[in-house]
Structure 1
């Protein structure tokens, strides 16, 4: 009889499956929203899968820690509600994000400056950015209930009995429905199934720097890298900050011209490889992360086929599945942002400006929400009482 797969191998496969299936639609939705063609979005999915796979293997093997890398799901959600003058400008913003992450590795003061931004305001900005996309399942369920309701039911049932698999299963059902529709309507162009990397020459401008790159950088750092380090610390691992930022920054920078918006430390899926379920021996759990990285590289080979299938879906259907996947993220962001009563006025101001979608001077609402939130934070938040002399 063949030997059963080890627990580290199973944990690594589960980590990669959950990481990919839980958010690939969010990534495709975000890239298309800032101007990518179907081919450019497919290229972005391929290069992101490859970059996070290689980065995971490199960090896990070098540190002997279960460090896993993921694409920036909150960043993709931000893109889905943002706007860019052109795809070239969006790619320029991706390049700048990679450079800023690298600068964080080389210059610790930049990390300290990011840490000076109240975490509740970063959570509030993310919550406001997520709301429009999280509303999509509600709208689409009314417009195409025969497609969306089965996906919602699968998600809801598994969320009750097996939360880890709720979102992956919902996306599997989504892909199954899309595949059936594509087969009914004549299938998918075979040429689109082959993974191809499409180069885009980046363009930089003030709108890319302020309106897209800075919010994307802040969301990636505050919602992925910092929590990712915290998850590893909770399991007893002190991951090297500079090495992790150098690898993910370089991966983002190299992948950006091919459509990759950002890679970072995994946060939600990090526990799958770092926890005791991966292996009772903490010194062996890095093998689970390495398996996850190799699996991501394998997913890169089929990413183009997934993207080609998604393109054939009815308008709004994939966005509905993506929004459904972000409901737990929205809940966590709101919970963290509104935890303390004294923070709530600045937090609510940040959320409302982010939801509004306003654009001022070509700069989107994500940036202005932080500006308004910081202003309210400085003005309205109660100051600590000064003890009498």
Structure 2
């Protein structure tokens, strides 16, 4: 077999930059929406965005360089979506940060305690996907509701999204982001720009609360582990890469727990954007694709000083703009989760119940629908005897 053709040194580096750009621009509105929804101030949300960029940038750079594997990390976009639909904790953002710490420690334990990772993987994938789809439904409906309420600011974004989706799916959300900046400028909303443009770390002392840990921390852990880490490992494996599972999980968990003290919710292995750094776009020579991970990490680090300006711009945007950005960014994830949830006939009823309960917005004992949806789905699956493993 002839060796692969030489890869220009710029190819993997450029692929990593694209991975970082797409990863940040396509989902930061979801992160800001989620942090603000659980009680963060604008300064705390900006600090959280900064901490997330820092921890995932350092992790991506470090593991890609040390392992010679394109290990890319990201913030938990499904986790941020979960926060955006969760009820604000009675204890405020401090209680939410306590739940973030719980999530981080559980992620770290998955790397350190093998039975825990096995237990998480035993949750039927269709039920986990159904929980995620239920959480995403209200957010993905927002653009179309906002289109009725604020047609002059939202319609241009939806139109740009549709055209860009047809031309280049990967760049659809970055194109909508550019359109959002134009709409913000045309409406004169930049005049409302407030707050510092340089990032500031805002420490948050966590307030441990059992109800918040169950309603936010546990679902955040489950959705991050099942829809991000497991999927990220699968993406890397599909390109022939096998990253060190235990050290990666330990880092993402511990870095997430420490980063929570600065307002960050969770980091994990990248899933969707991982293919940009690990796939053929990073060059034909797989031995050099780790350079894409390095440049992706550097790109994330370059976003650290932009976190405050990004938050201020989001705060100044016209009504409906940020919700539309977040909803359109999550549509592919919602579609994939919905398809996965209903693929297997033997799990279909349990997944349907999980989806409906998670999407209903119900709260029982202060615990939200994401948790109860998974519980209900597991009960239905067990009663119907659908958890039998194929013989």
Tell me whether the two structures share a fold, i.e. TM-score over 0.5: yes
Aligned to 2:184: 178
Name 1:65's counterpart in structure 2.
Answer: 69
Q: Partners of 1:385 and 1:221 in 2: how far apart?
A: 22
The 3-state SS of whatever aligns with 1:264 is strand
Name the SS of the counterpart of 1:258 in structure 2. Answer: coil
Q: Does residue 268 of structure 1 match 2:296?
A: no
Work out whether 1:352 is the aligned partner of 2:373: no
Asked if 1:312 corresponds to 2:320, the answer is: no
Q: What SS does the aligned partner of 1:186 have?
A: helix
Does the residue aligned with 1:67 lie in a helix, a strand or coil? coil
Whether 1:166 aligns to 2:161 is no
Q: Equivalents in 1 of 2:57, 2:65: separation in Å?
A: 12
Q: Is the 8 A contact 1:346 1:381 kept in 2?
A: no
Q: Does 1:342 align with 2:309?
A: no
1:10 correspondence with 2:17: no
Q: 1:242 aligns with which of 241, 246, 252?
A: 246
Q: 1:293 is matched with which residue?
A: 297
1 CA distance for matches of 2:48 and 2:315? 14
State how far apart, in whole Å, the 2-side matches of 1:7 and 1:277 are. Answer: 8
Q: Distance in 1 between matches of 2:389 and 2:66?
A: 49
**Within 2, Cα distance between the matches of 1:173 and 1:233?**
36
- Per mean C-alpha deviation after superposition, the further-off stretch among 376-385 and 60-69 is 376-385
Q: Which runs of 4+ in 1 moved over 3 A?
A: 381-387
Residue aligned with 1:349, SS: helix
> Are the aligned partners of 1:231 and 1:267 in contact in 2 as well (CA < 8 Å)?
yes
Q: Which residue, out of 23, 29, 37, partners 2:41? A: 37
Alignment of 1:284 with 2:294, yes or no, is no
1:144 aligns with 2:150: yes
Distance of aligned partners of 1:383 and 1:262 in 2 relative to their CA distance in 1, 3 Å threshold? closer
Matches of 1:386 and 1:249 in 2, distance apart? 33
1:185: Cα distance to partner? 5.7
Q: TM-score, normalised by structure 2?
A: 0.94
Q: Distance in 1 between matches of 2:388 and 2:69?
A: 41
| Unaligned 5+ runs, structure 2 | 1-7
Deviations 1:273-321 (A, max 9, x none): 0012112111111111100100100011111101111111233320121
Q: Name 2:135's counterpart in structure 1.
A: 129
Deviation at 1:128, TM superposition (A): 0.3
What RMSD in Å do the two structures reach over aligned CA positions? Answer: 1.7
Match of 2:29 among 25, 32, 42: 25
Map 1:89-128 to 2 at 5 A.
89-128=95-134
Q: Does 1:255 align with 2:221?
A: no
For residues 255 and 184 of structure 1, do their structure 2 counterparts lie closer, same or farther at Cα, with a shift above 3 Å needed? closer
Deviates more, 1:166-175 or 1:237-246: 166-175
| Cα 1:282–1:386 shift into 2, 3 Å | closer
Query: Match for 1:75 among 79, 99, 113?
Result: 79
| Shift, 1:178, TM fit | 2.5
Work out whether 1:329 is the aligned partner of 2:329: no
Cα distance in structure 2, aligned partners of 1:162 and 1:385: 40
